[in-house]
Structure 1
């Protein structure tokens, strides 16, 4: 929270004379990486702005190449609401002098100040930042105010789950890393294509929404129901039949003569578990895993 407050203060300090401008929404571009899986409908917000005015300005920064255009820092829903209005033609905005990193920090901090990102939202956001060349895992971890090891695990989970299934499930607030990690492992063990589970998640969300009456005070989360439905589906797929059980083969590994873990192979996966290795080596292997795997594959293809 202290880091978030610093980022927001830094953004406010960069605002031009703290003047609120009225801009044409068409002049504002939104090139940010999305950090929400389940954005709320903007209809109610549009109605409120049309009736009462825009109480809170959005934050933009000047486009680096086009003098008459701006890049959105935060305030996407307000921008969408006014773009869709036939009664409001201007949007109130603060204009800040921010570089890419500072703008990203302000975006994350403003969202965190309103509601924490769920685990899978943060994981997908971290993966998108890394894939879009924002920086290293260490730099992404600094922006999101978490440890590098947690970012590495989160990115691994995000890649295993995939964007399609994650979006079909939704943010699932309250579902933490261990359960998302379990889903990723079950996807690997069963060999089920994550995209094939999207309909399971969508159907579960629809049923959950329909089961809760408008005057019901339960705080049911359809995305949590979708998560649970997908897990139940995977557990059925993972359950071995009576006449065909999957046997896992395990081979111990050593490093410089000392036990280092094991490599385990099941019918659908090969898993490397290193339990007694130096932390520095583990971090290097984690960062270099893709290159090492590619090298081993090339050696296998070129074997005589």
Structure 2
């Protein structure tokens, strides 16, 4: 094998080592996904494609894609050093679907000096393309906790697979996927987008916010406006060429959390506490059901894993059956 061919074949491998390295198990999984994508690349050749020929139909990952102005300037000055990855469109000739490299593609689309995007073309199915997308992004550690949570929920809602299958693709445990999805549902896409990615705000603080939302039933439109006000002020500061003091999305998160505490304090503790009942299976406590004025929450925390998988796959049918039974009995 020639040196040039070796260099081309290792191009995707080098992406896995970019940025801060994740944990060993995550790195191994990311490398496997990227190596699979590398092996599927046609002749390991870097092509120059018309950006208009590339469609982006991927699952969304980011709440707040950063401005690509700086990246565009860098590409115009130094060239595109790292190619994007695409796959052939299954139905349209000379059309491609983006696997990863959205910011590079957007930067070149916005440029009036660069007309072609350098790309590797791979033969990948939907699942393999998703694995490569996730692995490339987790290798660079760009997604925040809430972005990962919304991403997992989108995969579940779109029918991609069960929580166990999503956990396998994302290289995390099924319990973490389950918790992430519960947080994403409690927060909701509107409030999550109003706040933004909030890098640095980890799982415990998002879980606490989600629990407070479920317990208090506060108006989320009001919270969205609080978050948007913070980000609007931050944007005005940037327009004045002033350096923002902190990440606007983190500031928005903290503003929302403070507003919720103030609202709870004004209520003076008069809001009724959610009613909780223990759930028992075969004489053993399996979890709890909590009812508030706005929601009914079911938590199964100590059940057999096989039963959890069974229920996960049939939850919609079971819920419909219970609803039909309720209508018959009432």
- Provide TM-score, normalisation by structure 2: 0.81
Written as runs of structure 1 = structure 2, the 5 A alignment for 1:178-197 is: 178-197=204-223
Aligned residue number for residue 11 of structure 1: 37
Gaps of 5+ in 2: 1-26
Gaps of 5+ in 1: none
Aligned length: 303
Aligned residue number for residue 62 of structure 2: 36
Q: What CA distance in whole angstroms lies between the structure 2 residues aligned with 1:22 and 1:246? A: 63
User: Is the contact between residue 260 and residue 274 of structure 1 (CA under 8 Å) also seen in structure 2?
Assistant: yes
Q: What CA distance in whole angstroms lies between the structure 2 residues aligned with 1:198 and 1:175? A: 17
User: Is the contact between residue 41 and residue 121 of structure 2 (CA under 8 Å) also seen in structure 1?
Assistant: yes
Q: What CA distance in whole angstroms lies between the structure 1 residues aligned with 2:82 and 2:121? A: 13
One of 199, 220, 228 as aligned partner of 2:225:
199
Q: What CA distance in whole angstroms lies between the structure 2 residues aligned with 1:137 and 1:19? A: 36
CA gap 1:62/1:254 in 2 versus in 1, 3 angstroms? closer
Written as runs of structure 1 = structure 2, the 5 A alignment for 1:1-304 is: 1-207=27-233, 220-239=246-265, 241-242=267-268, 244-260=270-286, 262-272=288-298, 274=300, 277-285=303-311, 288-304=314-330
Deviations 1:255-304 (A, max 9, x none): 44455555444444444455655454455445544444443333333225
User: Is the contact between residue 54 and residue 92 of structure 1 (CA under 8 Å) also seen in structure 2?
Assistant: yes
More off after superposition, 276-285 vs 96-105: 276-285
- Provide TM-score, normalisation by structure 1: 0.87
* Pairwise CA RMSD: 2.8
